[in-house]
Structure 1
Amino acid sequence: MTDPETTDAEKTDAAAEGLDTRLVVERGSFRLDVALTAAPGDVVALLGPNGAGKTTALRALAGLVPLTGGHLHLDGTDLDRMPPEARPVGVVFQDYLLFPHLSALDNVAFGPRCHGATKAEARAQASAWLERLGLAEHGSAKPRRLSGGQAQRVALARALATHPRLLLLDEPLAALDARTRLDVRAQLRHHLAEFEAVAVLVTHDPLDAMVLADHLVVIEDGHIVQRGTPADIARRPRTDYIAHLVGLNLYRGEAEGHTVRVDHGSAVTTTEDLTGPVFVAFPPSAVTLYQDRPSGASARNLWRCEVSGMETHGDQIRVALSGELPLAADLTTVAAAELDLRPGATVWATVKAAQTHAYPA
């Protein structure tokens, strides 16, 4: 319901809040063309393989790479006309880039000082941010005395101390070991949930993206191939790269009722009743392998395959299969030993229709 007291100018200001950009950057033979929109409070993750254009997009948002075309609007202001240092943008770099000669307190105070605060004002603001991020007792420490997790939080405090309207995080957890990463990921999620402006993070780690972001934007070869919530993308991947990230076998084909004729020429039976171009997906854990063709097999999905590779995947063995339908299967080590699996061995793979998922392409 519209507030009758709201003016047209206020409506325009409200509509202009947040990020509205189309980033076009041409560098040699590579072309980035990515459109992004986000409202205040949104956390958007740019996800994609190496060389997809994620970092170029982040640097363009920061003003470190000039746009060849498009636009960059933040809260209704054209940032492309502003020098990088004048933009209301905070950046947390992958290696944090803390000033080694300054204490944690003075690292955080650097931004407010650059924005005109007195030394006392800047240090007071920095002290408040360090306390907010649980680092009050580390204010006098130089970066070399900080753990990886502490350095990451100092870098975040330094970026937030200037009250940015756009926060950019470049692989914010990549420099941490696995144990520290788990704790810092949870802390970062908490701080991002409290951030009232737009946050954009770049990562190649699907878990970081799924945990930290409200929306995912997947980039391949400089273009967006899929966008949506983490749940949407995990359930309905649209490229092999995304399917691999979320751990699914993915195929594209034509559906006629409950049968999907995939591009490899095989058929997959599903519980969905669809017609036309579709994707069909199922997890490697849904695949059951047999040494011999199951006698009297009732499974609608049955394919003759060859083992093309094996690798440890967590506490299981992931088996790569070629043949009638290339796929991956996850087995326990005991099951793999009982099947006497080895490269080149012939096996029969089955998947229950109820464990497949088909959706329009």
Structure 2
Amino acid sequence: MTDIDETAHRVRAGDGPDTGLDAHLVVDRGGFRLDVPLTAAPGEVVALLGPNGAGKTTALRALAGLVPLTGGRLRLDGAELERTPPEKRPVGVVFQDYLLFPHLSALDNVAFGPRCQGATRAEARAQAAEWLARMGLADHAGAKPRRLSGGQAQRVAVARALATRPRLLLLDEPLAALDARTRLEVRAQLRRHLAEFEAVAVLVTHDPLDAMVLADRLVVVEHGRVVQEGTPPEIARRPRTDYIAQLVGLNLYRGRAGGHLVRLESGTALTTTEKLTGPAFVAFPPGAVTLHRERPADTSARNLWRCEVAGLETHGDRIRADLTGELALAADLTTVAAAELGLEPGAGVWAAVKAAQTHAYPA
């Protein structure tokens, strides 16, 4: 039995509460400090989501053993991995640029891991052929990476990571190198492969769609700290920072609630259907906002603010207006509506939102 086999055996020996990932990643790098608790059960896909510089890739590299922890812990299936060198960890990694060996065929790229674990050349190539077949790449086994499309190279990279039968699969922006059309197809394929994976998978991405589609649970990281975690619907329904609200397309405000009224620090008040007391968030989609050039006399909306158009941009098949004034917010409207209102930067408007279209929840 090789050193890798022994480590893998010890890790797989854990069961019950000791199965899965139990980590508290603390890394100090210059003036930046990563402090992220992270747990996951076998079969669970967790996405680390956050803006550039949040610490997502540092967390991934710490899990892989490529960056040493300065504190915290790292346990996988009950085994402590803090002092285990990267090559002896039962961890598979799919890098952002895939990092396939350019001089090896797809088959030998995938066979590399089993060979390092002690398999004979014939055994390793047989395992690799099986993985390529699962990925729909049996006909490309002899191709060098330069002959593969972006989607094919991505699937070879996933097969190479899975061929070692890891207990922890790490994926660093696995779809970032693909064009939009290829990403749509590969995302669906990757979701199927992750659903079949029996151990823990951790995905790093800044793309909310990748995170929502691929992950069972999201951990949102900003400035090296976890700011929110939950299932994709929970995160989308109740964002707790401006970054998350922008990702899921909501206007978000924090204030103090008293009954159906939430008052912001600026003094602006928002009327909601929920009845709350104490610190609260209020959220509503840009599509819930209606704009008027004159103060409307016949609106049933309980929320009405005097604003000014700060900017306009195309957003899908609609126009998004960024507004400042009594309340800073985004409003979506059709191209026809924008033209009829004569919207342009600097134009004054009234923004209305019905209380029934807001969502308030405790902060």
Per the alignment, do residues 351 and 51 of structure 1 end up closer, same or farther by CA in structure 2, a change over 3 Å counting?
Answer: same
Query: C-alpha distance in 2, partners of 1:12/1:83?
Result: 20
Q: Once the 2 structures are TM-superposed, how far is the Cα of residue 12 of structure 1 from its aligned partner?
A: 7.2
**1:211-360 counterparts in 2 under 5 A?**
211-360=213-362
Q: Which of 59, 78, 89 is matched with 1:87 structurally?
A: 89
The residue type paired with residue 277 of structure 2 is T
Q: Once the 2 structures are TM-superposed, how far is the Cα of residue 15 of structure 1 from its aligned partner?
A: 1.0
Query: C-alpha distance in 1, partners of 2:215/2:266?
Result: 35
Matched residue, 1:184: 186
| 3-state SS, counterpart of residue 131 of structure 1 | helix
- Cα deviation 1:242-261 (Å, max 9, x = unaligned): 00000000000011111111
Q: Once the 2 structures are TM-superposed, how far is the Cα of residue 177 of structure 1 from its aligned partner?
A: 0.3
| 3-state SS, counterpart of residue 134 of structure 1 | coil
Query: C-alpha distance in 1, partners of 2:265/2:313?
Result: 26
Query: C-alpha distance in 2, partners of 1:87/1:30?
Result: 26
The residue type paired with residue 345 of structure 2 is P
Q: Which of 158, 163, 166 is matched with 2:165 structurally?
A: 163
Query: C-alpha distance in 2, partners of 1:111/1:75?
Result: 21
Q: Once the 2 structures are TM-superposed, how far is the Cα of residue 81 of structure 1 from its aligned partner?
A: 1.7
Per the alignment, do residues 120 and 174 of structure 1 end up closer, same or farther by CA in structure 2, a change over 3 Å counting?
Answer: same
| 3-state SS, counterpart of residue 298 of structure 1 | coil
Query: C-alpha distance in 1, partners of 2:50/2:344?
Result: 32
Matched residue, 1:3: none
> Is residue 2:125 matched to residue 1:119?
no
Query: C-alpha distance in 2, partners of 1:24/1:225?
Result: 16
- Cα deviation 1:43-75 (Å, max 9, x = unaligned): 000000000000000000000000000010000
The residue type paired with residue 335 of structure 1 is A
Query: C-alpha distance in 1, partners of 2:196/2:13?
Result: 25
Q: Which stretch has the larger CA shift, 293-302 or 191-200?
A: 293-302
| 3-state SS, counterpart of residue 82 of structure 2 | helix
Query: C-alpha distance in 2, partners of 1:138/1:350?
Result: 57
Q: Once the 2 structures are TM-superposed, how far is the Cα of residue 27 of structure 1 from its aligned partner?
A: 0.4
Query: C-alpha distance in 2, partners of 1:122/1:81?
Result: 28
Instruction: Confirm or deny: 8 A CA contact 2:102 2:146 kept in the other structure.
Output: yes
Matched residue, 1:143: 145
- Cα deviation 1:56-107 (Å, max 9, x = unaligned): 0000000000000001000001111211000000000000000000000000
Return the TM-score normalized by structure 2. 0.96
Q: Once the 2 structures are TM-superposed, how far is the Cα of residue 109 of structure 1 from its aligned partner?
A: 0.1
Spell out structure 1 runs of 4+ moving beyond 2 A.
10-13
Q: Once the 2 structures are TM-superposed, how far is the Cα of residue 295 of structure 1 from its aligned partner?
A: 1.7
Q: Which of 35, 38, 41 is matched with 2:40 structurally?
A: 38
Return the TM-score normalized by structure 1. 0.96
Query: C-alpha distance in 2, partners of 1:79/1:266?
Result: 51
| 3-state SS, counterpart of residue 154 of structure 1 | helix
Q: Once the 2 structures are TM-superposed, how far is the Cα of residue 11 of structure 1 from its aligned partner?
A: 12
Alignment root-mean-square deviation, CA: 1.1
Query: C-alpha distance in 1, partners of 2:34/2:196?
Result: 31
Per the alignment, do residues 193 and 341 of structure 1 end up closer, same or farther by CA in structure 2, a change over 3 Å counting?
Answer: same
| 3-state SS, counterpart of residue 259 of structure 1 | strand
Q: Once the 2 structures are TM-superposed, how far is the Cα of residue 13 of structure 1 from its aligned partner?
A: 2.8
- Cα deviation 1:92-130 (Å, max 9, x = unaligned): 000000000000000000000000000000000000000
Q: Once the 2 structures are TM-superposed, how far is the Cα of residue 299 of structure 1 from its aligned partner?
A: 1.6
| 3-state SS, counterpart of residue 330 of structure 1 | strand
Instruction: Confirm or deny: 8 A CA contact 1:251 1:263 kept in the other structure.
Output: no
Matched residue, 2:20: 18
Matched residue, 2:6: none
The residue type paired with residue 270 of structure 1 is T
Q: What stretches of structure 1 of length at least 5 have no aligned partner?
A: 1-9
Query: C-alpha distance in 1, partners of 2:267/2:209?
Result: 33
The residue type paired with residue 130 of structure 1 is L
| 3-state SS, counterpart of residue 169 of structure 2 | strand
The residue type paired with residue 291 of structure 1 is R
Query: C-alpha distance in 1, partners of 2:263/2:247?
Result: 24
Instruction: Confirm or deny: 8 A CA contact 2:281 2:360 kept in the other structure.
Output: yes
| 3-state SS, counterpart of residue 80 of structure 1 | coil
Q: What stretches of structure 2 of length at least 5 have no aligned partner?
A: 1-11
Q: Which of 200, 203, 206 is matched with 1:204 structurally?
A: 206
- Cα deviation 1:218-240 (Å, max 9, x = unaligned): 00000000000000000000000
Residues paired across the two proteins, number: 352
Q: Once the 2 structures are TM-superposed, how far is the Cα of residue 265 of structure 1 from its aligned partner?
A: 1.8
The residue type paired with residue 294 of structure 1 is P
| 3-state SS, counterpart of residue 43 of structure 2 | coil
- Cα deviation 1:129-169 (Å, max 9, x = unaligned): 00011111100000011111000000000000000000000
Per the alignment, do residues 173 and 11 of structure 1 end up closer, same or farther by CA in structure 2, a change over 3 Å counting?
Answer: closer
